[in-house]
Amino acid sequence: MILITDGGSTKCDWIAINSEGEQALDKIRTKGLNPAILSEKKLRKIIGKNKDLKKVKEEITHIFFYGAGCGTEKPRLILTNVLQSIFVNAQVEVREDTYAAVRASINTKDEAAVVCILGTGSNCSYFDGQNLHQRVDSLGYSIMDDASGNYFGRQLLRDYYFNKMPETIRLAFSHKYNVEADFIKYNLYKQSNPNAYLANFAEFMFLNKDSEYIVNVIKQGIRIFSESMILQFKEELKTCPVHFAGSIAYFSKDEILEVANEYNYTVGNFIRRPIEGLVKYHTNNL
């Protein structure tokens, strides 16, 4: 039995596939497992306490884990070792989440495309049909991650506190969330996963897209992401599409298409949850 995992900072989806390529269990969901942010102890605790994973851990022969924070060697090795120590009979392969987005979004195995992730975090890479290319090393959510959930959450909080929100939106925002300064600072600086905490506020945008202010916030974030990330592949954009994966991208389709027209690049597929595409990919390669 193999386990395929789409791991973000907020949540992880796990799907088990048997040797016939059939789904063996209902989809399992755990908290996020970003090894660049969480300690080894925390990673082990999140995985180990899940009853469904515990039941099948000795039956697993392969794990394909695609995750946020797995783009550099040290955190990738930490998570690999944690998984190997729990699933003792399994071969473990850990890759960054960009590979999940590529394998889930491209139309054919050797299709060239620029592939973007807009979820809790954000990323952008060029896939030449064989290999993945990145020209900017990510420095994490506090410096990069433009147009991600945590970017938009940060922007909404800033606009609230700097009084840049229209009054009706400001009232709705304060009604939906605890916006007391001490509470916000506690979650940002005293709790784990501050990026996921910020990303929680992004839902507010998609519940209030009838507001011109909200639409402009989304479009401005996409513009910044386009300029800093997508346009680094100017030559490649002349001949290949830009695919998007992640919930922020999925719910921002209209704004992405408008901004793409402004910057003259071609949008391809939108994939809300890469896990379904990953199952198809690995089933075809059993």
Q: What is the DSSP-derived secondary structure letter of residue 95?
A: E
Long-range contacts of residues 200-208, Cβ cutoff 8 Å, at least 24 apart: 200/149, 200/153, 201/152, 201/153, 201/156, 201/157, 201/177, 202/149, 202/150, 202/152, 202/153, 202/156, 202/248, 204/156, 204/172, 204/173, 204/176, 204/177, 205/152, 205/156, 206/251, 208/169, 208/172
Residue 165: predicted pLDDT = 97
Please give the domain boundaries of the chain with CATH numbers for all domains: 2-100+275-284 (3.30.420.40)
* pLDDT surpassing 80 at residue 284: no
Residue 286: predicted pLDDT = 61
Residue 27: predicted pLDDT = 87
| Segment 32-80, tens digit of pLDDT | 999 988 999 999 999 999 999 999 999 999 999 999 888 888 999 999 9
Mean pLDDT of 133-161: 91
With cut-offs at 50, 70 and 90, classify the pLDDT of residue 236.
Answer: very high
Residue 175: predicted pLDDT = 97
| Segment 184-230, tens digit of pLDDT | 999 999 998 899 899 999 999 999 999 999 999 999 999 999 999 99
Highest mean pLDDT among 62-76, 140-154, 246-260 belongs to 246-260
Mean pLDDT of 258-266: 97
Distances in Å between the Cα of 22 and the Cα atoms of 64, 87, 89, 238 are 16, 20, 20, 39
With cut-offs at 50, 70 and 90, classify the pLDDT of residue 267.
Answer: very high
Residue 109: predicted pLDDT = 79
| Segment 87-126, tens digit of pLDDT | 999 999 999 888 888 988 988 878 999 999 999 889 999 9
Q: How far apart are CA 213 and CA 128, in angstroms?
A: 38
Residue 135: predicted pLDDT = 87
Please tell me whether the overall predicted TM-score, pTM, comes out greater than 0.85 for this model: no
Residue 180: predicted pLDDT = 97
Tokens representing 145? 């991650």
Least confident of 116-130, 134-148, 260-274: 134-148
Mean pLDDT of 225-254: 96
